[in-house]
Amino acid sequence: MTEVNDTPGPAALFDLTGRTAVVTGASSGLGLGFARTLAAAGATVYAAARRADRLAAVAEAVPGLVPVRCDVTSDEDRRALVDRCRTETGRLDILVNNAGMPGPPDAEQETAEGFSAILEVNLLAGFHLAVHVASTTPESAAVSIVNISSVVGLVSTAPIGGASYAASKAGVLGLTRELAGQWGRRGIRVNAVVPGWFDTEMTDGLFENEKSAGWVRRNTMLGRGGTAGEVDGAVLFLASDASSYVTGHTLVVDGGWTAR
Protein backbone atom coordinates (compact mmCIF):
# COMPACT_ATOMS: atom_id res chain seq x y z
CA MET A 1 0.00 0.00 0.00
CA THR A 2 1.39 3.37 -1.01
CA GLU A 3 1.57 5.97 1.76
CA VAL A 4 0.28 9.44 0.96
CA ASN A 5 2.52 12.27 2.17
CA ASP A 6 0.42 15.33 3.02
CA THR A 7 3.42 17.42 4.02
CA PRO A 8 3.54 20.63 1.95
CA GLY A 9 6.47 21.01 -0.43
CA PRO A 10 9.29 23.51 0.14
CA ALA A 11 7.72 26.22 -2.00
CA ALA A 12 4.42 26.02 -0.13
CA LEU A 13 6.14 26.31 3.23
CA PHE A 14 7.52 29.73 2.31
CA ASP A 15 4.50 30.96 0.32
CA LEU A 16 2.87 34.06 1.83
CA THR A 17 0.17 34.52 -0.80
CA GLY A 18 -2.92 36.13 0.70
CA ARG A 19 -1.20 37.23 3.89
CA THR A 20 -0.63 40.71 5.24
CA ALA A 21 2.63 41.90 6.77
CA VAL A 22 3.86 45.04 8.50
CA VAL A 23 7.55 45.95 8.35
CA THR A 24 8.77 48.98 10.28
CA GLY A 25 11.89 50.91 9.35
CA ALA A 26 11.24 49.80 5.77
CA SER A 27 12.49 52.80 3.80
CA SER A 28 16.12 51.62 3.60
CA GLY A 29 18.70 49.10 4.77
CA LEU A 30 17.70 45.73 6.15
CA GLY A 31 14.07 46.76 6.57
CA LEU A 32 13.72 47.50 2.88
CA GLY A 33 15.14 44.07 2.10
CA PHE A 34 12.66 42.40 4.46
CA ALA A 35 9.74 44.23 2.86
CA ARG A 36 10.86 43.29 -0.65
CA THR A 37 11.33 39.63 0.30
CA LEU A 38 7.96 39.23 2.00
CA ALA A 39 6.25 40.92 -0.96
CA ALA A 40 8.08 38.63 -3.40
CA ALA A 41 6.80 35.66 -1.38
CA GLY A 42 3.23 36.83 -2.02
CA ALA A 43 2.37 38.99 0.99
CA THR A 44 0.78 42.41 0.92
CA VAL A 45 3.38 44.39 2.84
CA TYR A 46 2.63 47.61 4.68
CA ALA A 47 6.04 49.24 4.65
CA ALA A 48 6.21 51.74 7.48
CA ALA A 49 8.78 54.49 8.09
CA ARG A 50 9.01 58.22 8.73
CA ARG A 51 10.48 59.02 5.29
CA ALA A 52 7.39 59.00 3.11
CA ASP A 53 9.24 60.10 -0.03
CA ARG A 54 11.57 57.09 0.08
CA LEU A 55 8.69 54.73 0.77
CA ALA A 56 6.73 56.07 -2.19
CA ALA A 57 9.69 55.53 -4.53
CA VAL A 58 10.15 51.96 -3.30
CA ALA A 59 6.44 51.17 -3.60
CA GLU A 60 6.47 52.16 -7.27
CA ALA A 61 9.07 49.48 -7.95
CA VAL A 62 7.79 46.71 -5.66
CA PRO A 63 4.39 45.13 -6.39
CA GLY A 64 2.48 44.32 -3.22
CA LEU A 65 4.16 47.00 -1.12
CA VAL A 66 1.96 49.65 0.51
CA PRO A 67 3.84 52.72 1.81
CA VAL A 68 2.69 54.08 5.18
CA ARG A 69 4.27 57.06 6.89
CA CYS A 70 4.61 56.08 10.53
CA ASP A 71 6.56 57.33 13.51
CA VAL A 72 6.81 54.17 15.61
CA THR A 73 7.23 56.22 18.79
CA SER A 74 3.74 57.67 18.29
CA ASP A 75 0.95 55.58 19.79
CA GLU A 76 -1.49 57.21 17.38
CA ASP A 77 0.65 56.24 14.38
CA ARG A 78 1.15 52.67 15.65
CA ARG A 79 -2.55 52.10 16.13
CA ALA A 80 -3.41 53.69 12.78
CA LEU A 81 -0.90 51.40 11.03
CA VAL A 82 -2.32 48.20 12.51
CA ASP A 83 -5.93 49.30 12.12
CA ARG A 84 -5.38 50.26 8.48
CA CYS A 85 -3.99 46.81 7.68
CA ARG A 86 -6.96 45.09 9.26
CA THR A 87 -9.47 47.43 7.62
CA GLU A 88 -8.01 47.16 4.12
CA THR A 89 -7.09 43.46 4.06
CA GLY A 90 -9.16 41.97 6.88
CA ARG A 91 -6.09 40.48 8.54
CA LEU A 92 -2.57 40.96 9.88
CA ASP A 93 -0.40 37.84 9.78
CA ILE A 94 3.17 39.11 10.15
CA LEU A 95 4.81 41.91 12.09
CA VAL A 96 8.51 42.66 11.60
CA ASN A 97 9.74 45.10 14.25
CA ASN A 98 12.80 46.48 12.50
CA ALA A 99 12.80 50.25 13.15
CA GLY A 100 15.88 51.30 15.07
CA MET A 101 18.50 53.98 15.64
CA PRO A 102 22.07 53.96 16.99
CA GLY A 103 23.43 55.79 19.99
CA PRO A 104 26.88 57.20 20.81
CA PRO A 105 29.64 54.58 21.20
CA ASP A 106 31.05 56.13 24.40
CA ALA A 107 28.91 55.60 27.52
CA GLU A 108 30.11 58.88 28.95
CA GLN A 109 28.61 60.68 25.97
CA GLU A 110 25.14 59.29 26.73
CA THR A 111 22.55 61.66 28.17
CA ALA A 112 19.46 60.57 30.09
CA GLU A 113 17.25 61.95 27.34
CA GLY A 114 19.26 60.34 24.56
CA PHE A 115 19.33 56.95 26.30
CA SER A 116 15.55 57.06 26.74
CA ALA A 117 15.07 58.04 23.10
CA ILE A 118 17.05 54.99 21.92
CA LEU A 119 14.98 52.68 24.13
CA GLU A 120 11.78 54.32 22.87
CA VAL A 121 12.55 53.54 19.23
CA ASN A 122 14.47 50.25 19.51
CA LEU A 123 12.54 48.51 22.28
CA LEU A 124 9.35 50.18 23.48
CA ALA A 125 7.88 50.92 20.05
CA GLY A 126 8.12 47.27 19.01
CA PHE A 127 6.59 46.16 22.30
CA HIS A 128 3.59 48.45 21.91
CA LEU A 129 3.10 47.46 18.28
CA ALA A 130 3.20 43.78 19.20
CA VAL A 131 0.69 44.29 22.00
CA HIS A 132 -1.71 46.12 19.70
CA VAL A 133 -1.39 43.37 17.10
CA ALA A 134 -2.00 40.67 19.70
CA SER A 135 -4.94 42.47 21.29
CA THR A 136 -6.69 42.84 17.92
CA THR A 137 -5.99 39.30 16.66
CA PRO A 138 -8.98 36.92 16.52
CA GLU A 139 -8.67 33.74 18.56
CA SER A 140 -8.47 31.47 15.53
CA ALA A 141 -5.77 33.47 13.71
CA ALA A 142 -2.07 32.62 13.58
CA VAL A 143 0.41 35.49 13.74
CA SER A 144 4.20 35.62 13.43
CA ILE A 145 6.06 38.49 15.10
CA VAL A 146 9.74 38.88 14.17
CA ASN A 147 11.82 41.26 16.27
CA ILE A 148 15.12 42.49 14.85
CA SER A 149 17.92 42.64 17.42
CA SER A 150 21.70 42.81 16.87
CA VAL A 151 24.94 41.08 17.82
CA VAL A 152 25.41 44.13 20.04
CA GLY A 153 22.58 42.72 22.15
CA LEU A 154 24.45 39.44 22.65
CA VAL A 155 28.10 40.40 23.13
CA SER A 156 30.17 43.52 23.68
CA THR A 157 31.37 45.01 20.40
CA ALA A 158 33.33 47.89 21.92
CA PRO A 159 34.55 50.26 20.61
CA ILE A 160 31.56 50.03 18.26
CA GLY A 161 28.03 49.73 19.55
CA GLY A 162 27.16 51.86 22.55
CA ALA A 163 25.47 51.35 25.91
CA SER A 164 21.98 52.52 24.98
CA TYR A 165 21.98 50.56 21.74
CA ALA A 166 23.26 47.41 23.46
CA ALA A 167 20.68 47.73 26.23
CA SER A 168 17.86 48.17 23.74
CA LYS A 169 18.88 45.22 21.59
CA ALA A 170 19.44 42.93 24.59
CA GLY A 171 16.01 44.00 25.79
CA VAL A 172 14.51 42.91 22.46
CA LEU A 173 15.74 39.37 23.09
CA GLY A 174 14.27 39.18 26.59
CA LEU A 175 11.01 40.69 25.34
CA THR A 176 10.86 38.13 22.53
CA ARG A 177 11.09 35.20 24.93
CA GLU A 178 8.51 36.64 27.31
CA LEU A 179 5.92 37.48 24.66
CA ALA A 180 6.42 34.05 23.07
CA GLY A 181 5.66 32.48 26.44
CA GLN A 182 2.59 34.61 27.07
CA TRP A 183 1.05 34.29 23.62
CA GLY A 184 2.14 30.87 22.34
CA ARG A 185 -1.11 29.08 23.21
CA ARG A 186 -3.02 31.71 21.30
CA GLY A 187 -1.19 30.87 18.08
CA ILE A 188 1.00 33.97 18.16
CA ARG A 189 4.65 33.11 17.55
CA VAL A 190 7.36 35.58 18.57
CA ASN A 191 10.97 35.18 17.44
CA ALA A 192 14.04 37.35 17.00
CA VAL A 193 16.68 37.73 14.30
CA VAL A 194 20.18 38.88 15.25
CA PRO A 195 22.05 40.33 12.26
CA GLY A 196 25.81 40.73 12.36
CA TRP A 197 27.73 43.44 10.53
CA PHE A 198 26.02 44.69 7.36
CA ASP A 199 26.74 47.77 5.28
CA THR A 200 23.66 49.91 5.99
CA GLU A 201 22.86 53.43 7.18
CA MET A 202 23.14 52.11 10.74
CA THR A 203 26.78 51.17 10.17
CA ASP A 204 27.62 54.19 8.05
CA GLY A 205 31.36 54.32 7.37
CA LEU A 206 32.17 50.97 8.97
CA PHE A 207 33.11 49.26 5.72
CA GLU A 208 34.64 52.33 4.06
CA ASN A 209 37.27 52.54 6.78
CA GLU A 210 39.94 49.87 6.29
CA LYS A 211 40.70 49.65 10.00
CA SER A 212 37.10 48.92 11.02
CA ALA A 213 36.45 46.77 7.94
CA GLY A 214 39.53 44.72 8.78
CA TRP A 215 38.28 44.35 12.34
CA VAL A 216 35.05 42.83 11.01
CA ARG A 217 36.89 40.47 8.67
CA ARG A 218 39.32 39.26 11.36
CA ASN A 219 36.60 38.55 13.90
CA THR A 220 34.03 36.93 11.63
CA MET A 221 34.39 33.22 10.86
CA LEU A 222 33.42 33.76 7.22
CA GLY A 223 36.01 36.50 6.95
CA ARG A 224 33.66 39.23 5.72
CA GLY A 225 30.67 41.38 6.55
CA GLY A 226 27.18 40.44 5.44
CA THR A 227 25.89 41.40 2.01
CA ALA A 228 22.46 42.64 0.95
CA GLY A 229 19.84 39.92 1.21
CA GLU A 230 21.69 37.58 3.56
CA VAL A 231 19.29 38.24 6.47
CA ASP A 232 16.14 38.16 4.34
CA GLY A 233 15.88 34.37 4.31
CA ALA A 234 15.91 34.24 8.10
CA VAL A 235 13.02 36.69 8.32
CA LEU A 236 11.08 34.85 5.62
CA PHE A 237 11.61 31.56 7.47
CA LEU A 238 10.27 32.96 10.74
CA ALA A 239 7.39 34.74 9.03
CA SER A 240 6.21 31.68 7.10
CA ASP A 241 4.78 28.23 7.79
CA ALA A 242 8.30 26.84 7.45
CA SER A 243 8.77 27.83 11.10
CA SER A 244 5.29 26.93 12.37
CA TYR A 245 6.79 25.05 15.37
CA VAL A 246 9.35 27.74 16.24
CA THR A 247 8.74 30.38 18.90
CA GLY A 248 10.81 32.17 21.53
CA HIS A 249 13.87 31.59 19.36
CA THR A 250 16.81 33.85 18.54
CA LEU A 251 18.17 33.23 15.04
CA VAL A 252 21.69 34.63 14.65
CA VAL A 253 22.83 35.65 11.15
CA ASP A 254 26.33 36.98 11.76
CA GLY A 255 28.81 34.95 9.73
CA GLY A 256 30.04 33.33 12.93
CA TRP A 257 30.85 36.57 14.81
CA THR A 258 29.31 35.52 18.15
CA ALA A 259 30.45 31.88 17.89
CA ARG A 260 34.14 32.76 18.28
245 is an active site residue: no
Q: List b or e across 245-259, with b for residues whose CB sees 16 or more CB atoms inside 10 angstroms.
A: eebeebbbbbbebbe
SS3 content of the chain, % helix, strand, coil (to 5): 45, 15, 40
pLDDT of 203: 59
Alpha helices in 146-231 (DSSP H): 163-183, 210-219
pLDDT value at 2 more than 60:
no
Residue-range domain boundaries for the chain: 15-255
**pLDDT band of 204, cuts 50, 70, 90:** low
Tens of pLDDT, residues 54-80: 999 989 989 999 999 999 999 999 999
pTM of the model: 0.93
pLDDT of 7: 75
pLDDT value at 1 more than 50:
no
- Determine the topology of domain 15-255 in CATH: Rossmann fold (3.40.50)
Which entry of 46, 115, 165, 197 is annotated as an active-site residue? Answer: 165
Mean pLDDT of the chain: 92
pLDDT value at 202 more than 80:
no
SS (H, E, C) 144-160: EEEEECCHHHCCCCCCC
Task: List the single range of 102-106, 122-126, 251-255 with lowest mean pLDDT.
Answer: 102-106
pLDDT value at 38 more than 50:
yes
Tens of pLDDT, residues 208-225: 667 777 888 888 999 999
pLDDT of 230: 95
